[in-house]
Amino acid sequence: MKRNHLVLGTTCLTTLLLAGAASAGGLDTPNVGPAESSPVSLSPAAVYWNPGMLGFLEEPALLVGGDLVLGHVSYTRNRRATYQRSDSLDFALPLDAADIDASKTGEAPEATANPVVVQPTVFLAVPISDTGLALGFGIYAPYGAQAEYPEDGAQRWQLQRANIATVNFTPTLSFRFNEHVAIGAGASYVLGFAEQAKIQDFAALDDVGRAISNPPISQDNDFGADAPPGVRELDTMARPVVIREALAKAWTFHFGVAVRPTEDTRFGVTYQHKVDMEFEGKFTLDMDDDYFTQDLAAQGLQFPARVRGDATIAFPLPSALMFGIGFDVDELSVDLSVRYAFWSMVERFDVTLSSPELAQPDVGLGPESKVALPRDWKDTYDLTAIFSLPLSRSVRLGWHLGYMSGASPDATIDASSPDGDRLVLGATLDLGVSDAFHLITDLELQRVDTREVTASAYDLANGTYDLLLFTAGLHGQFVF
């Protein structure tokens, strides 16, 4: 028991933040800039999509606007294992037949979340006459997630509510070698914010199992990361935890190459480097159960009803490659692009939890703990085809189709990351109000195919998942 790294709340905090934050493809925001943007589009949004394209701009331009994102997420849990009554204190198998809860089987009531998110963007591009140089600057949010489920829903073990976002502040520099080739690069200051709440099942924590099985407590249990469903989701071990005011600050970079062999043909490639996020915030852990606050006091384990302290959570957002080709056929413009995100590089999350209220010196628990939570995401790819056609001298209509692969395997998907393969359909209307001002409106629908999961690890999140996102965008582009 002389392990100063043992803290009962550590893993619950890890799972709380990172289950939602690392929802892989689900954390990508629907759009950055207008929906018609791509690695070969010629607009100020190239600050993000491909800074090399800025080298072909002829006049300074400012793009200001944003997207309203409306979502509907549903999860119907389907318990396939055997569970005991939630008020039981039997922590080890086998279970007495009288303790088995026959109602904990099959489908639970559907849990839904309807997020509403406003996603603003600002892009500025300034070519410097006769030098081949162009300067750019952007403020945009490439990653984010927001959800609020019922507090007592079947998903509460993964998530009750979450609000996560990253905002990039990015200056860029582009250089055009000649009329055909340009390169560009940007450095981004990334500001992240996270707040989340969930119910953490202490039966899933190795440290809890060891702490109560070893002397002086000596209570047999099957707790730990491999705990069978029969000892999970008990009231005593169901501890609410909240993380709030968590901020992360980091730096990253990206660069791109743009080639225009002819006036009607465009090629582009962009590399975005990973960004290591380290969130620092506050946590509150509800330990208000007699088992933790008084029953084991004689054995040296007694927590306050509320444990508060500081938390640091570190994980990377992945590198990505984007490829694009664009060409014009008469008046029809076509852009085809692929984005490949290296989510598989996210191997674990590192968490440090610190509070004097966690210290239990009689059983060897110190005020600080570090833990790594392994994950198993897959790389993802997005395929997009964008078409646009002029309807008149001042009006251009665009539409796009897309497919986005999912990152979460069945073993680790849950309501905090309702990830899956997506189909995308959208339309854009570009209205030339004047030679100096264009108004760009977008409508887009993203739907994740209904996903039936039966292989969730330890029956934690088996069931049916649905995700629908509707985005309405409005941007104004000013040419100076």
The CATH architecture that domain 10-479 belongs to is Beta Barrel (2.40)
Dist. CA 425–CA 322, nearest whole Å: 20
Q: Is the pLDDT score of 19 beyond 80?
A: no
What is the H or E stretch that residue 208 is in? helix 206-213
Q: Can you point out the beta strands (E) in 35-101?
A: 61-79
Q: Is the pLDDT score of 38 beyond 60?
A: yes
Helix pair 206-213, 10-21: axis angle to 10 deg: 170
Give the model's confidence band at 10: pLDDT under 50 very low, under 70 low, under 90 confident, else very high.
Answer: very low
Dist. CA 409–CA 176, nearest whole Å: 43
List the one residue out of 65, 67, 60, 34 whose CA is nearest residue 48. Answer: 34
Give the model's confidence band at 139: pLDDT under 50 very low, under 70 low, under 90 confident, else very high.
Answer: very high
Residue at 91: amino acid letter:
F
Q: What is the three-class DSSP state of 52? A: helix
Q: Is the pLDDT score of 373 beyond 90?
A: no
**Are 270 and 321 spatial neighbours (Cβ–Cβ below 8 Å)?**
yes
List the one residue out of 111, 100, 399, 58 whose CA is nearest residue 260. Answer: 58
Which tens digit of pLDDT belongs to each residue from 235-272? Answer: 999 999 888 899 999 999 999 999 999 999 999 999 99
Pick 416 or 2 by higher pLDDT: 416
Give the model's confidence band at 17: pLDDT under 50 very low, under 70 low, under 90 confident, else very high.
Answer: very low
Global confidence as pTM: 0.88
Which tens digit of pLDDT belongs to each residue from 442-479? Answer: 999 999 889 999 999 999 999 999 999 999 999 999 99
Residue 163 has a CB neighbour count (10 Å cut-off) of: 17
Give the model's confidence band at 407: pLDDT under 50 very low, under 70 low, under 90 confident, else very high.
Answer: confident
Dist. CA 49–CA 268, nearest whole Å: 9
Q: Is the pLDDT score of 25 beyond 60?
A: no
Q: Is the pLDDT score of 121 beyond 80?
A: yes
